[in-house]
A and B are shown apart, each in its own frame.
Chain A
């Protein structure tokens, strides 16, 4: 084995230089020249200032905005649940110094875990209350379940349509106009059949703010 150690070491050095330094630098060069906007996070700007990324979900709690899906982002990195099971919709002001708050994470709650079921039950109740829905109305599953990344930028069309009357009421605009915006910010599945259709929450809310 000792005779093979020298080529092993030399090979590791050569490959690290080529694959670990040269290759990513080449790709970064191509990225920054040819795909700069996407390679830097697909930022959405309002009045020249970035307000988020098209690809990253962000927290919305105000009634005038559409709300994204529940999220467990940050839970893993901070070691605690981002949402308090007792008050899933109580939001804690973000600590600007805590950069782990947006670390991607699913909840990883199991399907039969009582804590998970309690959380869903509470979310259903809160969702109905926020949107003025009757007790019998079934809630779209994405509205009461956390996404895999905790950063899902989208909600389902069904979820958006149920929120539209609330948003329209708070903003004092006709529901039809809000629903038209929902349609305008709905992304079909890639090529029409790969993946699923969804509404980009940040793009929709930016468009809402532009309504005069």
Chain B
């Protein structure tokens, strides 16, 4: 890697590092048990107005079951609204490109995709959806789906900190506060920054101009900047352009690219600080952060190296892939000049360690091992640092699994933060842990014997084609949304199957998370004794890292061997 590439990486790490205590501390105050939070004089009246209109009693706390029902009800309404909006977009305003009614299976897929924070794009944004559907449908879910994930994570933290409590908070309050105090203010500031970068924001349709050579060219328009910012900040990843963040009108420069990587990572990492603050032991948060950073740096670093090495089969054709002052170099199919290979691979690593799934380069055209890194990153369960809220929930569940395994080794009842981890919690942890691999492996298994997948969906031949299918189900079940995008996902089978994978990856994880929160909240805290395994030490970080890697490795190695590994061996 060049000096500039290292510097770029260092600046990103520095920016995120500086933000973690600031944003993490702020979020701890927004959701903490104390009555007062910064900005109350401005935000409280807004929140009270929302509660009044929505008939919510903010003082009334919810048991975990009611909290879960609220999440499900809100998500159900979200899916229905989004589905109907796509089906009737022809009669709604702001459709300058005359996008037709979206077909049933595609509407279903897209509705589920945005409500589950996946933002998989089976559709072609430029031609399938109107500006109205984008801003009043998809972008609204870009705000509320991370807010739901955040609320669930906060509820889980409350479960760990409360003693003999029946309730874990009020979903409607957590949802409102996260939007009013975190997402909307940051989005307004961020959107203006994106405007300065050159991201478009208008209500034009396709403007046709005449080029220098006298051809016609289409200049697309739309409210892109307002959506772009929340697409990244909310670890959504989907939206406005078919090429996503590779599109120059979405991501115009090397600077905007680094800012996008920063935005999609910052909340996930900061939540470890929030967690440490809320449980009253910052070291607990540092342990989680350390594990996240180790995985993140390893995956992004290896991915960058593999991509910089280039494609030997292309080199053999008389192509220069070296990195010089006059060219960026590396494996350049599917990459943009202005980003360069290191920042493209860094983006790929960051987007798959969170549930974002935005792409600034085409993963399908990565080298076999370069493309395997984002795939593996998702397979760890997206905990480095993971989607907004869902990442913290995920790593906390893995922490519970780790103390359970440690408990088995020494023959003691495991504890986490003074809470005994017993049969109920462990069963829920196991349910959480196997749901995603179940959706990925069963889904992929069914798909690769389905004729429409073999004849229509798969684009590249050989093991690479298998990787496309594996990647699609991994992305859907982890609510990521990135793709080996050569795959044609807009078929009846894939739209419906991936829709179910997304639902499993979202709600079969959220409900056990809330159940764990409820079960833990009811327990009292046992005082630490000589036999307590401390969870705020490097030793525990090592154990947690090991569990994370081994669970994913044992589950997915055979599938990876059939895809990218075989492809690499054939080069």
Of residues 83 to 117 in A, which have CB atoms within 8 Å of B's CB atoms?
Answer: 93-94, 96, 99-114, 116-117
Q: Which residues of A contact B187 (CB under 8 A)?
A: 23
Bound CA–CA A113/B187 (angstroms): 41
Bound CA–CA A5/B140 (angstroms): 18
Of residues 7 to 61 in A, which have CB atoms within 8 Å of B's CB atoms?
Answer: 7-12, 14-16, 18-21, 23-24, 26-28, 30-32, 34-35, 38-43, 46, 49-53, 55-61
Q: Which of B74, B227, B344, B461 has the most CB of A within 10 A?
A: B74
Say yes or no: A111 contacts B340, CB within 8 Å.
Answer: no
Q: Which residues of A contact B248 (CB under 8 A)?
A: 55-57, 149, 151-153
24 CB-based A-B contacts, threshold 8 Å: A8-B73, A9-B77, A16-B140, A19-B140, A19-B144, A28-B201, A59-B211, A100-B127, A111-B314, A113-B460, A117-B313, A140-B319, A141-B314, A151-B243, A152-B338, A156-B337, A158-B324, A159-B327, A193-B3, A194-B253, A195-B253, A195-B254, A195-B340, A198-B328
Say yes or no: B81 contacts A16, CB within 8 Å.
Answer: yes
Say yes or no: A146 contacts B210, CB within 8 Å.
Answer: no
Of residues 91 to 133 in B, which have CB atoms within 8 Å of A's CB atoms?
Answer: 97, 124, 126-127
Identity of the chain A residue whose Cβ is nearest the Cβ of B218 in the assembled complex: A102
Say yes or no: A10 contacts B241, CB within 8 Å.
Answer: no
The 10 closest A-B pairs by CB, nearest first: A195-B254, A196-B340, A108-B486, A148-B246, A104-B243, A20-B136, A190-B255, A106-B362, A110-B460, A31-B201
CB of B252 within 8 A of chain A? yes
Bound CA–CA A197/B339 (angstroms): 9
Q: Which residues of B contact A111 (CB under 8 A)?
A: 311, 313-314, 331, 333, 365-368, 464, 567, 571
Q: Which residues of B contact A40 (CB under 8 A)?
A: 200, 202, 204, 221
Bound CA–CA A159/B321 (angstroms): 12
Q: Which of B56, B176, B218 has the most CB of A within 10 A?
A: B218
Say yes or no: A142 contacts B337, CB within 8 Å.
Answer: yes
Identity of the chain A residue whose Cβ is nearest the Cβ of B62 in the assembled complex: A4
For residue A1, give the distance in angstroms from its CB to the closest CB of chain B.
4
CB of B232 within 8 A of chain A? no
Bound CA–CA A25/B249 (angstroms): 19
CB of A157 within 8 A of chain B? yes
Q: Which residues of A contact B226 (CB under 8 A)?
A: 23-24, 27-28
Give per-residue flags for B310-334: 1 if the beta carbon is below 8 A from chain A beta carbons, else 0: 1101100111110011111111111
Bound CA–CA A150/B247 (angstroms): 8
Known: A30-B195, A103-B242, A109-B365. A23 touches B97 (CB 8 A): no
Contact of B246 among A41, A106, A196 (CB under 8 A): A106
Bound CA–CA A40/B198 (angstroms): 9
Bound CA–CA A188/B367 (angstroms): 27
Bound CA–CA A55/B198 (angstroms): 9
For residue B122, give the distance in angstroms from its CB to the closest CB of chain A.
12
Contact of A51 among B198, B210, B317 (CB under 8 A): B210
Bound CA–CA A151/B213 (angstroms): 16
Say yes or no: A28 contacts B203, CB within 8 Å.
Answer: yes
Known: A62-B213, A141-B329, A151-B247. A31 touches B202 (CB 8 A): yes
CB of B359 within 8 A of chain A? yes
Known: A112-B313, A112-B464. A58 touches B211 (CB 8 A): yes
Bound CA–CA A26/B191 (angstroms): 10
CB of B188 within 8 A of chain A? yes
Bound CA–CA A109/B461 (angstroms): 10
Stretch with Cβ within 8 A of A (4 or more), from B47-55, B397-405, B409-417, B533-541: B47-55
Identity of the chain A residue whose Cβ is nearest the Cβ of B78 in the assembled complex: A12
For residue B86, give the distance in angstroms from its CB to the closest CB of chain A.
14
Say yes or no: B486 contacts A109, CB within 8 Å.
Answer: yes
Give per-residue flags for A187-212: 1 if the beta carbon is below 8 A from chain B beta carbons, else 0: 10111111111100010011001000
Bound CA–CA A102/B63 (angstroms): 52
Q: Which residues of B contact A39 (CB under 8 A)?
A: 195, 199-202, 225
Give per-residue flags for B195-223: 1 if the beta carbon is below 8 A from chain A beta carbons, else 0: 11111111110111111110111111101
Q: Which residues of B contact A149 (CB under 8 A)?
A: 241, 243, 246-248, 336
Q: Which residues of A contact B318 (CB under 8 A)?
A: 124, 135-139
CB of B72 within 8 A of chain A? yes
Q: Which residues of A contact B253 (CB under 8 A)?
A: 190, 194-195
Bound CA–CA A94/B200 (angstroms): 25
Q: Which residues of A contact B7 (CB under 8 A)?
A: 193
Give per-residue flags for A112-141: 1 if the beta carbon is below 8 A from chain B beta carbons, else 0: 111011001100100000000001111111
Say yes or no: B188 contacts A26, CB within 8 Å.
Answer: yes
Say yes or no: A21 contacts B136, CB within 8 Å.
Answer: yes
CB of A171 within 8 A of chain B? no
CB of B459 within 8 A of chain A? yes
Identity of the chain B residue whose Cβ is nearest the Cβ of A136 in the assembled complex: B318
Bound CA–CA A135/B317 (angstroms): 11
Q: Which residues of A contact B143 (CB under 8 A)?
A: 15, 19
Say yes or no: A147 contacts B336, CB within 8 Å.
Answer: yes
CB of B70 within 8 A of chain A? yes
Say yes or no: B201 contacts A105, CB within 8 Å.
Answer: no
Say yes or no: A117 contacts B8, CB within 8 Å.
Answer: no
Of residues 254 to 293 in B, which have CB atoms within 8 Å of A's CB atoms?
Answer: 254-258
Q: Which residues of A contact B246 (CB under 8 A)?
A: 104, 106, 147-149
Contact of A11 among B175, B243, B329, B460 (CB under 8 A): B175
Contact of A27 among B216, B223, B317 (CB under 8 A): B223
Identity of the chain B residue whose Cβ is nearest the Cβ of A208 in the assembled complex: B212
Say yes or no: A24 contacts B223, CB within 8 Å.
Answer: yes
CB of A185 within 8 A of chain B? no
Known: A20-B140, A111-B368, A193-B4. A147 touches B334 (CB 8 A): yes
CB of B484 within 8 A of chain A? yes
Bound CA–CA A19/B187 (angstroms): 10
For residue A66, give the distance in angstroms from its CB to the closest CB of chain B.
11
